[in-house]
Amino acid sequence: MNLGNIFYVAPELRCGLTTDKVDIYSIGAMYLEIFLPFHDRFKGLYALMSGNYSSGWANYAVDVEFLMKLTSLDPSDRLSINEVLVN
């Protein structure tokens, strides 16, 4: 089964599970990619897949706390779409 670009795929999808928050993870990956300089994007998205967040990302106007809520490896810790819209 083709799931798309691995950097945007929620961790639970890689294990064959689906939740209502898989798209929230993808939004978080795109959020990070928008703000990071081109030369740092691959490294940043790779770190995100492992749940590693860099406080240095804040230097690029990334709200790291918000990003963590979008891309938590545990879907139950991710924001819902309604919570994303409020933020």
Q: Look up residue 57 and give its DSSP letter.
A: G
User: Quick check: 1 pLDDT over 90?
Assistant: no
For residue range 35-80, list pLDDT tens digits in order: 999 999 889 999 998 899 998 999 999 899 999 999 999 999 999 9
Q: Is residue 12 part of a domain?
A: no
Give me the domain span that covers residue 63. Answer: 24-86
- pLDDT for residue 2 is more than 70: no
pLDDT digits (tens, 9 = 90+) for 11-35: 898 888 888 899 999 999 999 999 9
Running DSSP on this structure, what letter comes out for residue 80?
Answer: P
Confirm whether 4 is domain-assigned: no
Q: What is the pLDDT, as a whole number, of residue 4?
A: 63
In a domain, 46, yes or no: yes
Q: Is residue 36 part of a domain?
A: yes
At residue 16, what are phi and psi to the nearest 5 degrees?
Answer: 85, 10
Please indicate, yes or no, if residue 76 is contained in any of the structural domains.
Answer: yes
Of residues 55, 59, 61, 7, the one with CA closest to residue 34: 61
In a domain, 13, yes or no: no
Round to whole Å and give the CA distance between 44 and 51.
10
Q: Is residue 3 included in any domain, yes or no?
A: no
Please report whether residue 80 resides in a domain. Answer: yes
Q: Is the pLDDT of residue 3 over 60?
A: no
Q: What is d(CA 26, CA 22) in angstroms, rounded to the nearest whole number?
A: 7
Q: How far apart are CA 31 and CA 13, in angstroms?
A: 19
